[in-house]
Amino acid sequence: MDNRRQQQNGDDPRQARHMPPLPGQQQEPPGHDSQMSPRPDHGEDSYVGHQRLEDKVALVTGADSGIGRAIAIAFAREGADVAIGFLEAEEDDARETERLVAEAGRRALLVPGDISREETCIDLVRRTVEELGQLDILVNNAAFQGAAVEKFEEIDGERVRRTLLTNVGGMFFLTRAALPHLRPGSAIINTASINAYQPKPSILDYATTKGAIVTFTKGLAKEVAARGVRVNAVAPGPVWTPLIVQSLPPDEIESFGKQTPLGRAAQPAELAPAYVFLASNDSRFMTGEVIGLTGGEPLG
């Protein structure tokens, strides 16, 4: 009885592994996983694969840390080789993702570059296909989120251009480059956000791009279904990633995620299984959908 009670307590969704109270902290963009306290849990010690992506090749942007690293770990343990897209300033974090993919017995390819530039996106896809042999799964995950502002007028033109070109432009460029290589059975997975449905005024440029990602997902899914390619999205709520410590003030970090019905933020490891599901044949009759992982906050 005691063992069963202990197991039930460990399954309590109000609790996350390795998620003590969050102390106030802040980093300069782009933020680094290695400098966060506590360190995020990407599933390094917990994710167990079942060969659902055996011999697939995935390209994951923003895979140096956060949700992207958790996806890369899960995909590798499910049997996929992984191309890791990242900004050059985040190479140390990307090297750690590379190590974890290789530790799972799969090939890891590091491809640095700024996805707001179309030529970078074309190169990302080209190198993935040339060096890993094919492309089966594209995960458009990388994003820029500027610091929270008090007034709309503080979001200037330079920031708007960077946010739109990274979050929306990069998705367009990568998808356009990837589609000629995607065979029937391939999958595109986009990272949206609860901000697509409940936009925070303090990061309205970011929230706007996440709404665009939902629209893009639903529209593209209709076209490429005839090619046997599926397109879906995941809409996270609050997740403990470097994006947070480089965009929110320290006092907001301390309460981050407490507004959710489950009363906490997610660890990146808790999102990765949804991406595995959407990439695998387990979801072969699903396209044009958005999976909300929000701790109970409603989408829509």
206 carries an active-site annotation: yes
As a whole number of angstroms, the distance between CA 66 and CA 72 comes to: 10
> CA geometry: angle at 119 spanning 115 and 124, to 5°?
65
As a whole number of angstroms, the distance between CA 170 and CA 165 comes to: 6
Q: Which residues is 232 bridged to in the sheet?
A: 189
247 Cβ contact list (under 8 Å, min separation 6): 29, 145, 146, 147, 148, 203
Please state at what angle helix 170-178 crosses helix 204-224, rounded to 10 degrees: 20
Nearest Cα neighbor of 166 from 270, 70, 248, 243 is 243
Residue 240 vs residues 18, 22, 112, 149, 245: alpha-carbon distances, Å = 11, 9, 23, 20, 9
Per the listing, tokens 């699903």 go with: 286
Q: In angstroms, how far is the first alpha carbon of the chain from the final one?
A: 42
Alpha carbon 174 to its chain's center: 15
Transcribe 181-215 into DSSP letters.
Answer: GPPTT-EEEEE--GGGTS--GGGHHHHHHHHHHHH
Of 47, 197, 206, 275, the catalytic one is 206
Which residues are known to be catalytic? 206
